[in-house]
Structure 1
Amino acid sequence: MKRPWKDVSTPLRDGMVHWPGDPECKITRVNRMEDGAVCNLTHLSMSAHTDAPRHFIADGMTMEQLPFEAVIGRCRVFELDCEDQITADDLKKIRLSSSQRVLFKTRNSTRSWSMNEFDKDFVSLRADAAQYLADLGVMTVGVDYLSIGGFNKDGVETHQIMLGAGIWVIEGLNLSDIKPGYYELICLPLKLEGADGAPCRVVLR
């Protein structure tokens, strides 16, 4: 008997934590059956993210060009005990290979997502770690907070290196209930034409 799928998506809710300066997540019921409407109807407003290369690369691929191979298939979850940023030296200590889908579990999953305010000190990928992943030829990288790059720490550089190398990025995961190891991954972003990112549901088994 196969093990059940585990949802590692962060629930979307009205007013949820978001990147400073990005549009706030707003979920509004515009038609309400309890008010006499014939149906319920919800309006959603938010920034889009699982990153496509277009996010930081001017002529990069957009969300509708996403290859399914990048977000469906075998992946590996690594748990890293980092207080600040994940460095190239940290990554050299674990077994990574080219064309691999990797998800990095850090203290973000239990600490950052439990906070009501944006955590400026979340664990992120330093630029040298991004370059190491790019040189290795990793296919997909998932992280357990709002960005692969830090807040005022290699944010632009990390994105440019990884997206410029064609690495697909999954941001905003919550891996608190996931143990390190191999999993089946399904991540399906919305097919937004011309977009630099898209909301997605991510499950592991």
Structure 2
Amino acid sequence: MKTINNPKCWTDLSAPVTNKMVHWPGEPEVSVCKLFDMNKGGPANVTTLSMSAHTGTHMDAPLHFVKNGKDISMFPLDLMIGPARVIEIKHDRFIPLEEVKQYEINPTERVIFKTKNSLSEWAKQEFKRDYVYLSSEAAQYLKEKKISIVGIDYISIGGKNNGKEVHQTLLGNNIWIIEGLFLKDVIPGLYEMICMPVKIKDSDGAPARVIIRKI
């Protein structure tokens, strides 16, 4: 992905779905294969997919960590398109409250965190146990600010020791989460964003296509 210079140019932040791409430990490997292949005498090309709903670039619905919460098919249409702010985090282990508080975050904002996770081609690598995650204090701050969406550049916004807490703090307050974004060449600033998760009834998450362009 190239650095964004043309305001009219849309940039795709979504990870390609490929065989054996990184996935959360304990969840099934990604399988993309041909059920029918015209090069092998098939009547058409038909691809089958097998993976967790929380693989690659995806959205978490409240149902992911909130009993009887909203499922991904209930993602509000008015949140799918609109301004989003990319904030670059310097801390190399987690997203601390002190850094987040430097920005004047407003209610209903869509906030995307770019961290050192974006320095590597994480989707093609083994699962990283030292990925940068959102601190519990910063999650609480975002809850108090009543933002609408938060995104991050790895497959989980929470860490090993606070994953459940961070998810519950956000999802329990109707803050929808985008995980697995590609932000390597994205310059911090304000963008127009389109985020379209697959509409899967009763699912706690779904793969999503996320694109942005500079405002």
Shorter chain as denominator, the TM-score bin is over 0.9
List structure 1 runs of 4+ shifted beyond 3 angstroms.
Answer: none
1:19 corresponds to 2:24: yes
Partner AA of 1:98 in structure 2: P
Match of 1:3 in 2: 8
Match of 2:166 in 1: 158
Match of 2:197 in 1: 189
Does the CA contact (< 8 Å) of 1:33 and 1:40 recur in 2? Answer: yes
Once the two structures are superposed, the pairs formed by residues 64-79 of structure 1 within 5 Å of their partners are 64-79=73-88
Deviation at 1:112, TM superposition (A): 5.9
Distance 2:22 2:39 in 1: 29
* 1:48–1:114 CA distance, 2 compared to 1 (3 A): closer
Distance 1:65 1:9 in 2: 21
1:110 corresponds to 2:119: yes
Distance 2:23 2:188 in 1: 27
**SS at 2:139's partner residue?**
helix
Deviation at 1:2, TM superposition (A): 5.2
Gaps in structure 1 of 5+ consecutive residues: none
Does the CA contact (< 8 Å) of 1:86 and 1:129 recur in 2? Answer: yes
Match of 1:37 in 2: 42
Does the CA contact (< 8 Å) of 1:70 and 1:168 recur in 2? Answer: no
Gaps in structure 2 of 5+ consecutive residues: 1-5
Distance 2:121 2:25 in 1: 15
* 1:132–1:76 CA distance, 2 compared to 1 (3 A): same
C-alpha RMSD over aligned residues? 1.3
1:59 corresponds to 2:68: yes
**SS at 1:146's partner residue?**
coil
Q: State which of 102, 107, 111 in structure 2 corresponds to 1:98.
A: 107
